[in-house]
Structure 1
Amino acid sequence: MTLPPSVSLDPARRRWLGRRILRLALALVTLGALAALMVESLRIGAHMRDNATIAALAGGRDAPVTADAPARVLLARAHFLMVRDRLDEAQPLVDLLARKGDADIAVAGLYDMGNARLARAIDHLERSQIDPAVPEVRLAKAAYRAALTREPGFWNAKYNLDVAQRLVRDFPEIDRDPKDDPKQAPKRVWTDLPGLPKGLP
């Protein structure tokens, strides 16, 4: 059996083919580098936009954020709203942070919300407004407990939870059938705030 004759290229053709392969390889490397550079510049641009949003919020200028914003941007917006006593607007952002998965930022948001709720409750109490203070204290305790679930060693949250528990005690509800007529239920004589009974002194 005879082998087919090998194809030989003349030196000029071989140099031309080598140059073509080299140009193609360089073009592929250049395209890859450009793609990587573009991805990195987009990432840096998004990071710079996030930093600008956080700086604006920290400087007191409102900057709306979307639900898909990074957790640190959501925290900055929530804090901006809490400081301005817009807790109903901040609460969904804190809830979103709690679901995002970044434990440290979620704990910071929950603790911040607990402090804002507790501050609002204390403000009500200083003005002898007992009824609106009670739910705020309960919401503050819920926020502190959620923060402690994620970070059990968070001493500040433990301390503030203890303060909140002293304001409004956690009494177990009396078991009663939900079918019972609420008008027949026994009237509560005392408020949830210890030492502050309703009625005349």
Structure 2
Amino acid sequence: MLSGLVLAVWQGARLLDRRAANQLIAMMAAGRDVDVDAKAAAEVQFARLHFLTFRERFDEAQPIATRLAAGDDSRLASAALYDLANARLRAALDHLAVNDIDPAIPLVRLAKEGYRRALGRDPAFWDAKYNLDITMRLVRDFPQIEVSGEELPPEATKRLWTDLPGLPRGLP
């Protein structure tokens, strides 16, 4: 009898916690800026991450993505990294649409890193593979020239191509 009562109290407390978490998620989905504790449920933290990335508040979203990526839930970790990478890629594409290349390059590189980390957590994540492929076409990774000493070799001073060759259109 006592064990049944303890179980009922425990289930009731769990139900109240989930209800509060669902209310926080619903408020963020409605566009309200709700502060979320770092010890909140992972789903609530993911909702906060999505809220911040949708508004391009990447500096606030990065610690949440890092915390979720370090968690035990591989599916949620890869989804958080993917969501942040997508937001950075969208911001980069917005810059490119108005030919503002300088701020787009680091955003594309950070998006690539996010997709790679998402694939590290879930190698079968097809959407991350696809987006990484598209992002790789935006800014290519070229090997860096190692220089010893102070003088640069003459071929290092020439820039034969830009880091951002252009927007991919269609299939290769």
TM-score relative to the length of structure 2: 0.87
- Alpha-carbon deviation of 1:191? 2.3
Equivalent in the alignment of 2:19: 48
**RMSD between aligned alpha carbons?**
1.8
Residue type matched to 1:120 in 2? A
Out of 105, 117, 122, the position equivalent to 1:134 is: 105
Return the letter of the residue paired with 2:131: N
SS at match of 1:172: coil
Gaps of 5+ in 1: 1-28, 197-201
| Cα separation, 2, equivalents of 1:155 and 1:192 | 26
Q: Measure the CA separation in 2 of the matches of 1:102 and 1:194.
A: 37
1:187 maps onto 2:128 in alignment: no
Structure 2: stretches of 5+ with no match in the other structure: 168-172
1:175 Cα deviation from its structure 2 partner: 1.7
Corresponding residue for residue 174 of structure 1:
145
- Which residue of structure 2 lines up, in the alignment, with residue 82 of structure 1? 53
- Letter of the structure 2 residue corresponding to residue 58 of structure 1: A
Take 1:195 and 1:85, find their aligned partners in 2: how far apart are those partners? 23
Maintained 8 Å contact 2:21/2:44: yes
Residue 133 (structure 2) aligns with: 162
Of the two structures, which has the highest relative contact order with CA contacts closer than 8 Å and spacing of 6 or more? 2
Larger radius of gyration: 1
User: Are residues 87 and 188 of structure 1, via their aligned partners in 2, closer, same or farther at CA, if it must alter by over 3 Å?
Assistant: farther
Q: Percent identity?
A: 50
In the alignment of these two chains, the number of paired residues is 163
> Structure 1 102/195 Cα, relative in aligned 2: closer, same or farther at 3 Å?
closer
Give the whole-Å Cα distance in 2 for the aligned partners of 1:105 and 1:57: 18
Counterpart in 1 of 2:95? 124
Shift of 1:153: 1.7
